[in-house]
Structure 1
Amino acid sequence: MSAMPSPRTRPSTHTAEPTARFVDLLAAEWIKVRSLRSTYWVLALSAVVAIAININGVHSDLPYIDRPHPPLPGLPPFRYDPLFHGLGNIAAAVMALAAGGFGAITVFGEYATGMIRTTLAATPDRRAVMAAKVGLVTAITLVLGLVVSVTSFFATNAMLASRHVGLSIHDPGCLRAVTAYALVIPVCALIGLALGAVLRHATASIVAVVALLFVLPMLFGGERYRVLKEIGNHLPLAAQSRLALNPDSHTSLGAYPATITGSWIALAAWAAVSVAVAVTVVRRRDL
């Protein structure tokens, strides 16, 4: 009879744990987002509200467009601006607030519940975890921004076609306006994500989002000081408004106007700095 092999001589059955792929990290982040029904309900509702605001604004203008507008001395002739009314600032503010809150909650939500410990225990590479969060937040909010922007543009201009003042996407400035209107939403979401990573508190993060997006621009209004006006021109929603401006409109840009190139750079810089801040803070700070 052959001797039974000693436990010490048995081959080892332990294998190394496979490294999590980036696709797996994205799937894990998607599960976290999907598990909170209130999150995607708020995003979907904000998109519907934003589209409704734009459509209602143009619909309310239809009787005004039909009225005669005699020329006034010293003023250019009346010309309705579908871009200004169809891609309105109020709707953009609604989506920016919702996106900023969504970006913040993806980070501070895990710190508040303690789930971040489980996440980093499963995937010690904090940069990869944050890259997955950034990718998912950007993708979701970009889709929402495109839905709101494209739907608002085509719906409002279809309403204005009977008044012969509607625009086509091929008209000057229209594609740029629709693109900027969509891109400012993920930019605001990344700003919220960065603030959530820095503050790690629900109330503080939301207050910071509101302060940066809506209160701070009030401090940089006016045209007396060029430095303040230049800073105000490069805030996220101000840059979007400049890019959405109709080239054929008679809107005055005032003193020290922002440029098209500078506005694109401002949006890109806000997104890049927000990602850098979020990754750096989560990587270096303790839990």
Structure 2
Amino acid sequence: MTASTADAGPATARGAGFHGTAKVTLPRILRSEWTKLTSLRSTVWTLLAAIVVTIGFGLLISAITVADFHHSANPDDLKDPVMTSLVGGYFSQIAVGVLGVLLITGEYSTGMIRTSLGAIPHRAPMLAAKAIVFGVTTFVVSLAAILVAFFGGQAILNQIHAGVSIGDPSVVRVLLGGAFFVMTIGLLGIALGTLIRSTGGSIAALLGLIFVVPIVTSFLPGRWGDIQKFIPNNAGGALVTIGDRGSDLLSPLGGFIVLLVWLAVGLGSATFVLLRRDA
């Protein structure tokens, strides 16, 4: 028993020394966040749902458009062929946003957040790494789904000679902008989850931002109505609109800048609260 204890002592000391001297670098934190993200079943299923919705709705709406084309009173009224195939992105944002909420509130509910923060001397890098890993993942997955929906949808629309190619003006901007918008909603989910901590409350706030705020701002009188241009949905709409955008949308560059501001304010506020509130 004494020998075992003696043998365990140096080993424990060596283990403690290793952890104490190991540097907590951003690449290591990124690997940790990637491991946590990919080890969750909810991540796989939610991203799969987002992919299915993006592609499925895009192909479905394109097929419906072709079926209704010959019955249209005015064939020239055919909707924007690019957005016809990408309409599923508006639904996939919900899945990605909810996943963003769950990534952070799940850690609070299980107490894992204490372990994460205890292993990292400073809290800000942990949230930054989580945002980077989740942001890159959702952008890549969303872009892949959007590309499949686009090419599939245009192949269907070409039956009535209404399809466009990826080389047409503004098409690449719309494809990249759609993926960036979905990623933005996901990161805002992380920000809300950090600020509110409650899964139910954070999801309610996210859905309110997506669905309720646009309705409320549309009823504001006079110049107050211009506020709706700066909410995430309409800023994202500015990124993915080709042609006439009316008075309700900013320019594509304006929409991109507004989304960046939302990300800066959301994640900045989340970092501020994380640094000053107990886990």
Q: Which residue of 2 aligns with 1:40?
A: 44
Which residue of structure 2 lines up, in the alignment, with residue 105 of structure 1? 102
Identify the match of residue 274 of structure 1 among 254, 266, 276.
Answer: 266
Pick from 3, 6, 27: which aligns with 2:31?
27
Could you give the per-residue CA deviations for residues 37-89 of structure 1, whole angstroms, max 9, x where no partner exists?
A: 12221221221122101110010111222347458xxxxx434420231121x
- Aligned counterparts of 1:110 and 1:204: Cα–Cα separation in 2: 15
Aligned twin of 1:3? none
Q: Which residue of 2 aligns with 1:177?
A: 174
Deviation digits for residues 226-266 of structure 1 (CA, Å, limit 9, x no counterpart)? 222x221121121222222222xxx662x454223221111
C-alpha displacement at 1:268, in angstroms?
1.4
* Cα distance change of structure 1 residues 252 and 264 upon mapping to structure 2, 3 Å threshold: closer
Supply the AA of the counterpart residue of 1:269: V
- Unpaired stretches in structure 1, ≥5 consecutive residues: 1-11, 72-76
Aligned partners of 2:89 and 2:72: how far apart in 1? 31
In 1, Cα distance between equivalents of 2:74 and 2:262: 44
Q: 1:261 maps to which residue?
A: 253
Matched residue type, 1:268: L
Partner of 1:234: 230
TM-score (norm 1): 0.85
For residue 94 of structure 1, give the secondary structure of its aligned residue in structure 2.
Answer: helix
SS of the residue corresponding to residue 167 of structure 2 reads coil
* Larger Rg over CA atoms: 1
Answer with 100-109 or 60-69: which moved more.
60-69
- Preserved CA contact (<8 Å) 1:226 1:256: no
Q: 1:93 aligns with which of 68, 90, 100?
A: 90
**Matched AA of 2:63:** H
Query: Could you tell me how far apart the structure 1 residues matched to 2:194 and 2:230 are?
Result: 23
Q: 1:82-161 counterparts in 2 under 5 A? A: 82-88=81-87, 91-161=88-158
Structure 2 gaps, min length 5: 1-12
Which amino acid is the alignment partner of residue 86 of structure 1?
S
Q: Normalising by the residue count of structure 2, what TM-score does the alignment of the two structures yield?
A: 0.87
Q: 1:61 to 1:24 in 2, by over 3 A?
A: same
Cα RMSD between the aligned structures? 2.1
* 2:277 pairs with one of 267, 274, 285: 285
CA–CA separation in structure 2 for the residues paired with 1:167 and 1:144:
23
2:165 to 156, 165, 168: 168
**Larger helix proportion, structure 1 or 2?**
2
* Preserved contact between residue 240 and residue 252 of structure 2 (Cα < 8 Å): no
Q: Return the letter of the residue paired with 1:285.
A: R
Equivalent residue letter for 2:268: A
Once the two structures are aligned, what percentage of the paired residues are identical?
A: 31
Quick one: distance in 2 between partners of 1:23 and 1:252? 42
Moved more, 96-105 or 79-88: 79-88
**Residue identity opposite 2:70 in structure 1:** D
Query: What per-residue deviation string (whole Å, max 9, x for no partner) do you get for residues 185-208 of structure 1?
Result: 110011111100011111111111
1:193 maps onto 2:197 in alignment: no
